[in-house]
Structure 1
Amino acid sequence: MPNREHKHRILVVEDEAIISMLIEDMVSDCGGEIVGPAAKFDDALALAREAEFGVAVLDLNLRGTLSYPIAEVIRGRGIPVIFATGYGADGLLDKFKDCPTLQKPFSQKDFAQAIDAVRH
């Protein structure tokens, strides 16, 4: 279980620069600290394995590569994952259906609610 000081560190994996910047602003507005952001699968996987964070927000589709292997590493560390996707919860593999999903485009309020839900 991540310790308290890492709970407000949020790993952001998003391949669209504009969306990544919006999410960074949302993290800051929630009082969080960004880990990353990572736009490339390999960079995200390295952060998933090594970085200290309490929550991860993953774009499901990184330039045609699905981020499930990244999510598996993160969940294996006992850290919650939130998927950000245009496909919605119905687009997730069954073994990830328990992960919260942010339907793109999402609001600051939706983001804050998802983060709060996994922190408790």
Structure 2
Amino acid sequence: MQKLNLSGRFYLVVEDEYLAASIIVTALEDEGAAVAGPVSSVTGALKLVSERADELDAGILDIDLRGVMVYPVAEKLAEQRIPFVFVTGYECDCLPEPFRTMPCLNKPCDEQELLGLLANLPSRQRPANRSAT
């Protein structure tokens, strides 16, 4: 198994299924990444994005959070130029128009496939005039 370099990266995990969230978080942490979340609601995810947007490198989003669609979070991440990946029980070809080109994996997904996808996401373009706090 190839070791990926996710050290120092910070990922938002939005997932309402405990086991799926646990697997994703463990896989990320095993690769040296830090995690915001997991959060299981759109409200919680939007709060984290607004509080920590400057730190986030990418997001992992389940589409259906107990009957509420995650698309407002996806829109907020896109506005902030934070890349994200959908991980869903839905068919990926059913994504709404604005998100059809986004990376998407079907559940249950292979964690190595997810990590490889995250490792190959384009780097986030951070504003040059902001400093980390």
TM-score under structure 1 length normalisation? 0.88
| Partner of residue 4, structure 1 | none
Equivalent residue for 1:96, pick from 91, 95, 99: 99
Structure 2 unaligned runs (5+)? 1-7, 124-133
Residue 113 of structure 1: CA displacement?
Answer: 1.6
Equivalent residue for 2:57, pick from 48, 54, 73: 54
TM-score under structure 2 length normalisation? 0.80
Equivalent residue for 1:64, pick from 54, 57, 67: 67
What SS is found at the alignment partner of 1:118? coil
1:66-103 deviations in Å (ceiling 9; x for gaps): 00001100110010010110113212111101210121
- Rounded to whole Å, the distance in 2 between the matches of 1:98 and 1:50 is 27
Structure 1 vs Structure 2: percent identity of aligned residues?
33
Residue 117 of structure 1: CA displacement?
Answer: 2.1
What SS is found at the alignment partner of 2:113? helix
What code does the residue aligned with 1:115 have? L
Q: Which portions of structure 1, spanning 4 or more consecutive aligned residues, are displaced by more than 2 angstroms?
A: none
What SS is found at the alignment partner of 1:15? coil
Structure 1 unaligned runs (5+)? 1-6
| Partner of residue 127, structure 2 | none
The count of residues paired between Structure 1 and Structure 2 equals 115
Contact map agreement 1:60 1:84 (CA 8 A) in 2? yes
Pick the structure with greater CA Rg.
2
Contact map agreement 2:11 2:34 (CA 8 A) in 1? yes
Tell me how large the CA RMSD over aligned residues is: 1.6
More helix by share: 1
Residue 20 of structure 1: CA displacement?
Answer: 0.6
